[in-house]
Structure 1
């Protein structure tokens, strides 16, 4: 359903327009008459008019340059009549306000028209689910975008991704097929065609080895998709194996445009350098540059080429410093010309990232076992200077794709079992768990004595415990009978609770009364317990002691007291 982009002109608008035209013609006539009367005045008026015209053009260019620094001007402040039409079509007001023309020609899908099957991927800003479209019966991928309606910045990022996906249309770029939203909540799902594989899962599989034709086929499709993105002014900024999706027909599509942005190489614009996964991040981003271009996507493509050839990531750094060190060891240390050309944020960061040892470029030496054409293309894409990486168009015309063996067609690629990045993560976690288990077993086998486990605890036999309890009761009675002070007769509770029983319940146990269990010697009898809170209070203690002496003291049996605190 299309949306009307204009509005009918009212009568007041036409009247005001005619008045403006009449006044304009009158002003032009007056200026013309003035010019014909005096050439000297003409020589003065014309330059002034030219200055005003130049000033107006400069202001116009300044406004355009300011708008170009934003993510995209079309997704903010859309016309009110357009918002009203989109809301009446079923779009939430908050989404219509930020997306603008990105929603034109679309109708929102209902959440109950899809059935989730399983979760196939997760990221920092979104989760991806495999689902079934109940209207068509097709299997699709639903990308749930995490956004907060109260934070306009997160909404702008989401709107930018939708705008970029609507702008792109290429066989090697994922296509946005619809949006699922709700008026009651801020949940938003992006609908894509379901892709059976991703390149990271295929590379991580130990049973899959790519041939030269297959490597060329995947790389040609990747560069073709990047060429289309760059020609449309889109910078992806997160090219990696898990974002290169492959369907069951062997077609590679660039996906996940969550970090992508609009870029015009003719204008200078500052962007964040906290983009691209670390293993595929270009050196200028690691140096802190905020003015970069399409070269960062080409660097990532060079890393992908090396990964396809070797079967593993070529520069897997754990930190930014280590990543720079790996780049220098493979691609060489930056030259003085590079440092002069690059625009670093500060001289301090310049000195911080300049390596002390001087490394030589070793790409051709490290990958000498591969074809010269493949190494030459990798050497170009992994150039430290972004300008030397050239363009995606020149890379796709490299000798690597024109020499024998030629790249195969996508439909000639083998059919692989379904695998995703999440499957690769599970394999990595399982491998890491097994490795830790073997390491711990090896270390424990080298120890001379094994530590005692808490579950296996030595339990005293009932006869021995009964004898110990009898001796404790006998010693207590003797001590209390010969005691001279009140504190000796009535010891504090922390001195009489060694076996876990209250003082008033101390008695002799017979072996037959004690069950052989782990709780036999830590349980309490089901009788009222004394309430002790430390030493006895002097006033209450005097009355209780007198009553005890009148009743016979601590003579024969057990003694029981209830003390009120």
Structure 2
């Protein structure tokens, strides 16, 4: 663990009286381009928390707003409170979680029983991930950076989505989806019997607190209809005026918890404002960048430069995470964006109008092309020794056409989860004692893939031809 002194930019957290009067800062546990995270103790009750100091205005705005909307979700990290002044970085007080899904996967290969992660455990992890993503999507929040290291795990085995710095809310504040607080496992007696989190971990949900914001029209339609209606919205109409490109990874800056009820009050989030940053991307019209989400879990539409996308980008990431849970290996460990596309093509075949009507309209579709993949291996080859139900589950998510990807709610009702072996109780989950400490951008992880940070290294992809076109140029890889 990094116990070195914090960089100069982060010394402010140690000298801010409103923070140190309430918290004892113990050590820095993560650092990245946009934030630093510290383990701390709350003076009032000795609760261990994580203090996340965010150096980027937009990241702070997005994370605070998303966590406020999701504060009653048992599978989303709790924001206790935050400190933010005009002349200081935002500091978020988050529940402390000791480990993450990346560590669960990494240590699965080392388990003495030789089983890795059992089917019952896989189902329990999947159900929790789906519940967290479903809560996000029913509130029109797209996470945009789902990956194992952003799925934090408590000592009791409760999994929580974290790191919402790239998240976006696709509708104006105040929208609440129909029945937005109903957790899927509460509707299914089987889930309730085998899957309900420990009572002390799940905050009491008061649906009446949301009633003042409930949209009457939404309240009259079913939950599935509501989701389908929400799914029609695309992310091009954004709340803020700028979407800065987040290509610099933030490393291990997620906060590591035992679940407690949120201490957050009804403070309103600061209004968005124009925030100019050197080298930031700004088209002036509020459209989104395609460079979001860590490459290995990035949807094809993002790899092809789309800025008109929706909740479905999270569903592709889910499919990659589920495949990794089943095999303990990344599904598409690309070394650059070009290599990422190539690896996807080798499995799913080329991207064409036949498999995704309208794909030719993607911004970079005519710029980069590949030779025809004659015999794509298919998802089945990526999941050796896995059951047809498991393969089917991944295929429902890892598909080109975003409209064809199964929603989190649909998957929670998939028959896979009601077949033996059932999801195990929380007490039977194997939880590592520490976090992974690294993710796919770390040079020492996942064998010896090099140049993970390069998005423009074409040297490793064999012969290519560059042609001038009316719009600029195109690159053909053979």
| Inter-partner Cα distance in structure 2 for 1:251 and 1:207 | 22
Asked whether 1:240 is paired with 2:147, we answer: yes
| Inter-partner Cα distance in structure 2 for 1:408 and 1:351 | 48
| Inter-partner Cα distance in structure 2 for 1:419 and 1:345 | 38
Range that drifts further, 281-290 or 108-117: 108-117
| Inter-partner Cα distance in structure 2 for 1:394 and 1:413 | 24
Range that drifts further, 270-279 or 331-340: 331-340
Which protein is richer in strand relative to its size?
2
User: Which 5+ residue runs of structure 2 have no aligned equivalent?
Assistant: 1-16, 172-230, 237-287, 449-478
Pairing partner for 2:65 from 156, 163, 183: 163
Pairing partner for 1:397 from 405, 410, 413: 413
Change (3 A) 1:427 1:375: same
Change (3 A) 1:315 1:425: closer
TM-score, reference length from structure 2: 0.61
Which protein is richer in helix relative to its size?
1
Q: Give the equivalent residue in structure 2 for 1:230.
A: 137
Contact 2:153/2:159 (<8 A) preserved: yes
Change (3 A) 1:294 1:404: same
Q: Give the equivalent residue in structure 2 for 1:197.
A: 99
Change (3 A) 1:230 1:409: same
Contact 1:204/1:424 (<8 A) preserved: no
Asked whether 1:143 is paired with 2:52, we answer: yes
User: Which 5+ residue runs of structure 1 have no aligned equivalent?
Assistant: 1-107, 148-154, 433-565
Range that drifts further, 174-183 or 390-399: 174-183
1:70-129 Cα offsets, whole Å, 9 max, x none, are xxxxxxxxxxxxxxxxxxxxxxxxxxxxxxxxxxxxxx9523422222222233311222
Secondary structure of 2:333 counterpart? coil
Shift of 1:313: 1.1
Q: Give the equivalent residue in structure 2 for 1:308.
A: 325
Change (3 A) 1:431 1:364: closer
Contact 1:115/1:131 (<8 A) preserved: yes
| Inter-partner Cα distance in structure 2 for 1:430 and 1:237 | 22
Asked whether 1:352 is paired with 2:374, we answer: no
Change (3 A) 1:311 1:268: closer
Counting only pairs closer than 5 Å after superposition, residues 108-147 of structure 1 correspond to structure 2 as 109-147=18-56
TM-score, reference length from structure 1: 0.52
Shift of 1:260: 0.1
Contact 1:121/1:422 (<8 A) preserved: no
Aligned residues: 315
Contact 1:368/1:375 (<8 A) preserved: no
Q: Larger Rg: 1 or 2?
A: 1
Pairing partner for 1:319 from 336, 342, 357: 336
Q: Give the equivalent residue in structure 2 for 1:286.
A: 303
Contact 2:39/2:49 (<8 A) preserved: yes
| Inter-partner Cα distance in structure 2 for 1:350 and 1:257 | 29
The structure showing larger relative contact order (alpha-carbon pairs under 8 Å, at least 6 residues apart) is: 2
Shift of 1:159: 2.0
Q: Give the equivalent residue in structure 2 for 1:31.
A: none
Secondary structure of 2:68 counterpart? helix
Shift of 1:317: 0.5
| Inter-partner Cα distance in structure 2 for 1:317 and 1:425 | 11
Secondary structure of 1:297 counterpart? helix
